[in-house]
């Protein structure tokens, strides 16, 4: 069962911190490795967390990647297109972002 992005919106400061650590770890590892080569254990280790911390928040590493992508798009949308962000699909948002940052 795939959870929606809204399922990942942590409310408590500790949960927000944990999720951000996982996303940061993912970004760090992706700088030098292919996603398909990463393991949940490596992600947890890079974040200084247990694998259980990942599985309490995400179904698998793909779910973490989707959340990281949605956060990336959301952050850029807030910077570049706040007026129409809610009306666009992820694909349209990504296109709009790239139109704004890449001449």
**Residue 2 lies inside a defined structural domain of this protein:** no
pLDDT at residue number 75: 75
pLDDT at residue number 5: 46
Cα–Cα distance for residue pair 46/32, rounded to 1 Å: 13
CB 59 within 8 A of CB 2: yes
**Residue 4 lies inside a defined structural domain of this protein:** no
**Residue 34 lies inside a defined structural domain of this protein:** yes
For position 93, which CATH number holds? Answer: 1.10.357.10
Per-residue pLDDT tens listing for the chain (103 residues) = 444 444 556 667 888 899 999 999 999 999 999 999 999 999 999 999 999 999 999 999 999 999 898 888 777 666 655 555 566 676 776 676 666 655 4
Query: Measured in whole angstroms, how far is the alpha carbon of residue 18 from the centre of its chain?
Result: 12
**Residue 78 lies inside a defined structural domain of this protein:** yes
The number of distinct structural domains making up the chain is: 1
Cα–Cα distance for residue pair 33/3, rounded to 1 Å: 26
Give the Å distances, CA to CA, from 52 to 18, 28, 44, 56, 101: 12, 20, 9, 6, 37
Asked whether the whole model's pTM tops 0.85, one would answer no
**Residue 83 lies inside a defined structural domain of this protein:** yes
Structural domain of residue 64, as residue ranges? 10-101
């Amino acid at each position: 069962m795939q959870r929606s992005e809204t399922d990942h919106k942590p409310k408590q400061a500790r949960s927000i911190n944990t999720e951000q650590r996982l996303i940061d770890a993912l970004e760090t590892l992706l700088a030098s490795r292919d996603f398909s080569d990463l393991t949940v254990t490596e992600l947890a280790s890079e974040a200084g967390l247990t694998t259980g911390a990942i599985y309490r928040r995400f179904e698998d590493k793909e779910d973490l990647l989707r959340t990281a992508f949605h956060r990336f798009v959301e952050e850029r949308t807030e910077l570049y297109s706040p007026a129409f962000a809610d009306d666009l699909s992820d694909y349209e948002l990504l296109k709009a972002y790239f139109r704004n940052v890449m001449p």
